[in-house]
């Protein structure tokens, strides 16, 4: 996965708790400045659900929220740590303080 990968962004958006599709996209917009297209968003959710990284909750007001599974949390943490290491190394190489 990459930082701008739709699946990573969805996992990041869900790190604060369960959200439904529209709310996930709003969280991604706050994070990156742009929304995912509906096709990309629901395509990513389908893949994440198939991999067992997110799961659906009971329907609330015709919207069905999804949340991270334990495996999803572990995968996200691993990905973010790897990205942080790469980002820190890159910034050090550029002579920029990572903090």
Chain residues 8-27 in contact with other proteins, contact rule CB under 8 A: 20-22, 25
Residue with Cβ nearer other proteins (63 or 89)? 63
| Structure-token match 């334990």, residue found | 70
Binding mask 28-57 for other proteins (x = CB under 8 A): -------x-xxxxxxx-xxx-xxxx-----
Residue 65 makes contact with other proteins by CB under 8 A? no
Minimal distance, residue 99 CB to other proteins, in Å: 36
Closer residue to other proteins in complex, CB, 33/93:
33
For other proteins, the closer CB: 52 or 90: 52
- Cβ atoms 23, 60 nearer than 8 A: no
**3-class SS string, 30-97:** HHHCCCCCHHHHHHHHHHHHHCCCEEECCCECCECCEEECHHHHHHHHHHHHHHHHHHHHHHHHCCCC
Nearest to 28 by CA among 51, 49, 53, 3: 3
Q: Which residue ranges make up the site for other proteins (CB under 8 A)?
A: 20-22, 25, 35, 37-43, 45-47, 49-52, 62-64
């Amino acid at each position: 996965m990459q930082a701008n990968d739709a699946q990573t962004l969805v996992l990041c958006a869900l790190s604060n708790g369960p959200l439904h599709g529209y709310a996930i996209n709003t969280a991604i917009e706050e994070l990156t400045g742009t929304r995912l297209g509906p096709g990309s968003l629901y395509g990513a959710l389908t893949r994440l659900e198939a991999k067992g990284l997110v799961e659906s909750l009971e329907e609330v007001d015709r919207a069905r929220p999804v949340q991270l599974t334990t495996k999803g949390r572990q995968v996200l943490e691993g990905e973010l740590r790897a990205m942080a290491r790469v980002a820190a190394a890159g910034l050090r190489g550029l002579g920029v303080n990572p903090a």
